[in-house]
Amino acid sequence: MTTSLSPLGKPRPTEPRLVPVDTISEEVADIFSRGITSGTGEPLNIFKTIAHHPKLLKRFMTYAGFFLNKGVLPVREREIVILRVGWNCQSVYEFGQHTIIGERVGLTMQEITDLTKDIGAVNWSARDRTLIEMCDDLCRDDCVSDATWQLLQTHWNETELVELIMVAGTYRLVSGFLNTMGVELDADTPGWPQ
């Protein structure tokens, strides 16, 4: 197995450690029929990789799908969190997929690119900066600092705070899965911004 280095110098597999399933069982076909496809109509590589464990795929789709379809957070803020976590974890797949979603929900390509920079290098709004600090805290220490928590409480209610931490943690887990499995970008998925 060969590796390459991410933009921050972290080794990542250059090919899948588990090849995405190509023979789709009836159970997996039913899950895929719920619209988890790329722009080409093909199931996304992440889901074809998780499909090695169909029962987990089904439950993961319900759980992770909640954040994307039924969550209480403003979608732009949710995508800032997912993109920053993807960057911090150096998951090109996660960052690429959510570049597409982020643009769809109103993030500019400049904002997406800025999420790969040191927080002090960009003039973020107070809300955006707090989200980025939260992600950086969690990815650095698995705990939001007291100072960041106090800022979070000034902008979001208790329900939103629970969801913010769960979104960040979920996409940290997803990023680790993608990195470890060497999931390849889908044909229509961008890599890191220039």
- The domains found in the chain, sorted by start residue, are 3-69 (no CATH), 75-181 (1.20.1290.10)
The Cα-based distances of 62 to 31, 42, 109, 169 in angstroms read 10, 19, 29, 16
**Among residues of the chain, what percentage have pLDDT more than 90?**
83
pLDDT at 151: 98
pLDDT at 171: 98
Mean pLDDT of 38-43: 73
pLDDT at 3: 84
pLDDT tens figures, 97-128: 999 999 999 999 999 999 999 999 999 999 99
Task: Pick the closest to residue 88 from 121, 125, 119 (CA basis).
Answer: 119
What per-residue string of b and e applies to 138-164 under the rule 16 or more CB within 10 Å gives b?
Answer: bbeeeebeeebbebbeeebeeebbebb
Query: Cβ(172)–Cβ(91) under 8 Å?
Result: no
pLDDT at 1: 66
pLDDT tens figures, 65-97: 999 999 999 999 999 999 999 999 999 999 999
Q: Which pTM value belongs to this model?
A: 0.95
**Residue 29 in this model has a pLDDT that exceeds 90:** no
Instruction: Calculate Rg over the CA atoms of the chain.
Output: 17
**pLDDT level of residue 2 (50, 70, 90 thresholds):** confident
CA atoms of 171 and 149, how far apart (whole Å):
19
